[in-house]
Structure formats: structure tokens, C-alpha cells
Amino acid sequence: MIRFNVPPVAGKEMEYIKQAVESHHICGDGPFTKMCNKWIEDTTGCKKALLTTSCTHALEMAAMMCDFKDGEEVILPSYTFSSTANCFIPAGAKLVFVDVEPTTMNINPDLIEGAITDKTKAICVMHYAGVACDMDKIMDIANRHSLIVIEDAAQAVMSTYKGKPLGTIGTFGCYSFHETKNYSMGEGGALLINDPAFVEKAEILREKGTDRSKFFRGQIDKYSWRDYGSSYLPSELNAAYLWAQLEIAEEINANRLASWDKYYNALKPLADAGKIELQYHPEGCVHNAHMFFIKLKNLEERTAFIAHMKANDVLTVFHYVPLHSAPAGLKYGRFAGEDVYTTKESDRLVRLPLYYNLDKKDQQKVIDTILSFWKE
């Protein structure tokens, strides 16, 4: 059976975890966490990066810092993972979903302005498959209406938009290092803060409401409970695992891109013949091969396709039941405008196995099995 995902292993994970164990520093914010934070800051240029226990938690921190007051709203796509929306519930925001662009499956920037009301406080975008949203348009709207922008860049580590790393364009960026993502620590993530005004607040929020971060830097001589907070810092054991991957991030990225290109070239004839649709990358978007998806004719064909692949020992998956039509989406949000593409396009999308060190023979088998679906 060819698995859909295999979590990345760079090679030095055990060595670094052993180091953490032997140093007797296994709680958060030790040397490995600091190296990971610095790597993110150095490679992306964000003002401050804080490793978190998940991208979900990074999103929760960002949502909390927006400081939503009674009935204030956030605009977001409906075609996304639950965490993109879920984080705004404890923060007290109302969800306003808008449609996606069928080409990228990213939020359609031209629909955002029509969804803005006098209650709108923030826009949360999600860079699907590591391909950037139209950030020039989105930042222009946000600036004209004084809105906070959160980038759910869970899938977008190492992707850029017009040369800028994703996660560094809005006020906040959120990365995921879950085992299904390009770089992993099992469960984990990072909050990227691009506006220095939020750094201290974020540190307090992450460290149980205390100014312990300042204390450890020697900036104050005792720490105390300053504000509401929780515990969003991961253990050093997880950070050690992640460090092994970040160290060879370029290699992992190149390896994934090579697999991605192989799929693309092999499936291009099917696309040219009008059987499937392939991914589209707008100008200025450099992707990170997070995902390889194709679009089939409709739900019925997709169901038959997944069954055909499975019968031949290849696991392919689909995802994202549109949030606005899910039970929690109905409870906490509304859809602004018309759902032209979100449901229709999500019904016909399917993802192929893609991970670091995907075996070439396995990949050829995936390709041959796909081709055989249209020959039968």
C-alpha cells in the first residue's frame, strides 16, 4: 500500500532529542526552541517567531490579540481546515465566510470588500497548498479599512509571494509543524509576529499570562502574572525533532518540488486532453510542494477515482467539507455572498501521495494507476 503521507525524517532527530534529554532541559524555550525561532526569523525576516504547541494554538494567540469586542467580525474562506475558523470562537468573533477562487482555492480578494461591515475587525487568509493568496489586493483592502490580517500559513513554510515569505505579510503568520506538513515536530507550530507592538503581549499569552520571557532575558528581576494567558510553548523534545528538519529545509523543499514536478509533467497530457485540471500558480507565487491535487469532473467521478486507486493499493484523499455548511459553521458564522465555487470545487478535488523522500518507483506506480483510470 502506498501511503498518502509519511512524516519527514531528516536523520539527526534522535541525536538532537538525546542531546535535549542529557542536557536536562526538556521543558519549553531551551536551546532547540531558540534555534528554531531564530531559523524562522532569519529565513523569513519576521520581527519575532515563537514556537507553539500547534498551528491551531498560534492561530488562537493571533485571534486573541485582535481583541474582538461584542459582535465584531472576521472575514475568512470557507474552504479551509477547521482551525482557521475555530480559533476565533474563544476570541469572541463572528465568522463571515466568503467564496474562493476556483483557480487556486484561495479566498477571492474581490469578494472581501462586499463582506465588510462596520463590525469587521480582521481578515484571516489561508494560503492553500502553500500557494499565496493575492496579498497585494488583500493588504490594500486591509489598510484602507484598518483591518488586522492573519495569515494561516500552516501549509506555506518556505513559500513566497513576490519574494516575501508567506506568514510575514499580514500582522500575524501561523505555521504548522504537524506530521502532515513539510517540516514536522509531531505536533507543533509557530506564531510569526510582524508588528513589534504585539511581541510582549504574545510572550505573556504564551507563558501562562506571565512575563517570564522577559525575566529569563534578564530584563526584569522577578516575574509575575500580567494578563490572561495559557501555555502554548512546546517541549524541547519536539523542538529538537524539528531542528533536524529545519537544518536541511532546502533539501527537503527541493526533494518535494522534484516529486511535484514529476507528477505535473506526467499528468499534463491528461490535463491537455481535458480529463483533469492541474494546479495553477499565479505570477509571483513560489510554492513549496506542500500538496499535489488534481480536479476531476465531479463528485461521482472522484468517488470512482479514489476507489480505483485504493483497489490498486494507492491511498488518495480529499478534504475540507466547506466550513459554512458544517454544524459549527452554521452556529458561529454566515456566508457573505454566494457559494459559487467553494462546495462545487471541493467536491471534485483529490490529493495524491506526496512527502519527503517519496520513492521514485512508488511515485511511478501512482502515476501509472492514475493513467489506467482513464484507459479502462
Ligand X SMILES: *Cc1c(COP(=O)(O)O)cnc(C)c1O
Residues lying near ligand X in the complex (CB under 6 A) are found at: 54-56, 80-81, 83-84, 126, 152, 154-155, 176, 178, 189
- The least distance separating ligand X from the CB of residue 22, rounded to whole angstroms, comes to 28
Nearest distance from residue 61's CB to ligand X, in Å? 12
Q: State in angstroms the smallest separation of the CB of 232 from ligand X.
A: 11
Min dist CB 54 to ligand X, Å, is 3
Q: Which is nearer to ligand X, 172 or 373 (CB)?
A: 172
Residue closer to ligand X by CB (options 188, 267) is 188
The smaller minimum CB distance to ligand X, of residues 176 and 288, is found at 176
CA distance 315 to 354: 11
Q: Centre a 10 Å sphere on the Cβ of residue 32 and count the other Cβ atoms it contains.
A: 30
Q: Which is nearer to ligand X, 81 or 373 (CB)?
A: 81
User: What's the CA angle centered on 191, arms 202 and 8, to 5 degrees?
Assistant: 150
Helix (H, G, I), strand (E, B) or coil at 151: strand
Measured on CA atoms in the order 89, 90, 93, 99, is the torsion positive or negative?
negative
The C-alpha atoms of residue 73 and residue 349 are separated, in whole angstroms, by 30
> Is residue 189 within 8 Å of residue 155, measured between CB atoms?
no
Minimum separation from the CB atom of position 178 to ligand X (A):
4
Q: Which is nearer to ligand X, 291 or 336 (CB)?
A: 291
Q: Phi-psi region for residue 173, left (φ > 0), alpha (ψ -120 to 50) or beta?
A: beta
Pick the closer one to ligand X by CB: 59 or 267: 59
Closest distance of CB 160 from ligand X, Å: 18
Sign, CA torsion 363/368/374/376: negative
CB of 81 to ligand X, least distance (A): 4
- Strand ordering across the sheet containing 120-126: 48-52, 189-193, 172-176, 148-152, 120-126, 73-77, 94-98, 333-335
Closer CB to ligand X, residue 267 or residue 352?
A: 352
Shortest Å distance, C-beta 124 to ligand X = 10
Q: 24, exposed or middle or buried, with CB in 10 Å at 0-12, 13-18, 19+?
A: exposed
Of residues 80 and 120, the one with the C-beta less far from ligand X: 80
CB 248 within 8 A of CB 43: no
Rounded-to-10 torsion of CA 166, 169, 170, 175: 20
**121 CB-side CA count, 13 A:** 19
